[in-house]
Structure 1
Amino acid sequence: CRRLSYVEEIMQKDFLEIGKVVNIHGLRGDVKIQPWCDSAEFLCAFDTLYRADGTPMSVEAARVHKGMAVVRFAGFSTPEQAESLRNTVLYMNRDDVELEEGTYFIRDLIGLQVVDADTGAVYGRLEEVLETGANDVYTIRTPDGKQLLFPAIGDVVIETDPEQGIMRIRPLEGLFEDAD
């Protein structure tokens, strides 16, 4: 098992992947970024993005074009300079975003132990968040390897505590009956 460097530890804790440079755009050094976040608009709101090694990249201009973020970084003013960024994964500093109460980064939810709010019974670990449009759906992997799904709605998710590594839920009647 490889030990993480100090920079890698900081990047995993404080920074989240936000997108990937997929192409250049135009002649002024702009790049197209495929957003790996809620939207291209969200990505365009940042003044600084980061490379995987923690190097900050100052955003001079950003706009949305056909669902992609088109960004010009300081120091990149030609297509050749922009080309050097192709396939670069970009990160945001989580401290640059203030989340509303009760909202979390998906990364902070993955791995939470999911327990019954009333009985304390352990259902398993949250494995995946499916974005369905109406509401998210959470996937749990049970200790015996089964997969359970439940809606991320207030009637089901009673408490989410990433600091303690736990999510308390109250399943709707019959929700997990077919899982037995």
Structure 2
Amino acid sequence: YYLAKSDARLPKGRFFIDDLLDCEVVDAETGRVYGRLTNVDRPAAQDIYTVTDTAGEEHMLPAVPEFVKNIDIEARKILVTPIEGMFTEAVNGDED
């Protein structure tokens, strides 16, 4: 069963994955740009956002209200409040 995206009605606070991709990910408090959303994984109860920074490094962000404060599809921005190290340390402790 398929339907046109324009015919779909999502609940408030829900978004199509393709609308989220390439949104700028920005610190809600400082305005620091962390990168762009490049992937959405759905492994369990919450989605996991992959944010790719300008150096090409990937950072994982659980898509939960503690971290994701606002999604503005029209402005193509996702405001976040990450914990320390979320965007500065290597994924899974891997270091180059």
TM-score (norm 2): 0.86
How do 1:122-133 and structure 2 match up within 5 A?
122-133=33-44
Q: Quick one: which of 63, 71, 82 aligns to 1:171?
A: 82
Verify: 1:162 aligned to 2:52, yes or no.
Answer: no
- The code of the aligned residue for 2:30 comes to T
1:149 partnered with 2:60: yes
Following superposition of structure 1 onto structure 2, how do residues 91-130 of structure 1 map, counting pairs within 5 Å? 92-130=3-41
Output the CA distance in 1 between the equivalents of 2:37 and 2:89: 19
1 or 2, which has the higher strand percentage? 1
Displacement of 1:134 in angstroms is 1.6
Q: Percent identity?
A: 37
Structure 2 residue runs of 5 or longer lacking an equivalent are: none
Contact 2:34-2:87 within 8 A present in 1 as well: no
In 2: Cα distance, 1:176 partner to 1:123 partner: 7
Structure with the bigger RCO (C-alpha within 8 Å, sep 6+) is: 2
CA offset at residue 97 of structure 1? 1.5
What RMSD in Å do the two structures reach over aligned CA positions? 1.6
Instruction: State the shift of 1:172 in Å.
Output: 2.4
CA deviations over 1:85-137 (Å, ceiling 9, x no partner): xxxxxxx3122211100000000000000000010000000000000112100
The correspondence of residues 1-180 of structure 1 with structure 2, limited to 5 A, is: 43=1, 49=2, 92-179=3-90
Instruction: Point out the structure with the larger helix share.
Output: 1
TM score, norm. by length of structure 1 = 0.48
Larger Rg belongs to? 1
Shift of 1:174: 3.5
Structure 1 unaligned blocks of 5 or more: 1-42, 44-48, 50-91
